[in-house]
Amino acid sequence: MLTIAHLNPDQFRIELRIQVIELIVSLETKHEQSGAIIHIYEYIVGDETGCIVLNTKSELQIDSVYDIKHAYTETVEGYLRLYATDIEPSSSKQLDGINTQNNRSAILLARKLH
């Protein structure tokens, strides 16, 4: 299992244990082709090494701990985001000391061309 401090852009098949810190935004929109209603949530989630913005279609409980599987990262306007659909409640009740000082989504990333 990875930690938030070890996340990089364009990473796939990520497995993490996180705690939900805060709901940032909740959106409701329609799917372009089917017209079905889609709910999208953005949360600040963290572990002992840092925190990050999580984009998901799952409604999560604040202060709860979840195990995330098959997640991936992308940059949005230069900022790191975590995307996940496979999220399950964890057997852990709380994580020890969430590090909110190392917000991986608050760091502007620049791509280097080689």
Q: Are strands 79-83 and 50-56 parallel, antiparallel or unpaired?
A: parallel
Dihedrals phi, psi of 6, to nearest 5 degrees? -95, 5
pTM for the structure as a whole:
0.91
Mean pLDDT, residues 6-35 taken together: 94
| Mean pLDDT estimate for the chain | 93
How much is the pLDDT for 53? 98
> Which is nearest to 16 in space by CA: 71, 53, 60?
71
**pLDDT value at 32 more than 90:** no
Quote the CA–CA distance of 29 and 65 in Å, as a whole number.
27
pLDDT digits (tens, 9 = 90+) for 63-103: 999 999 999 999 999 999 999 999 999 998 888 899 999 99
Quote the CA–CA distance of 23 and 105 in Å, as a whole number.
14
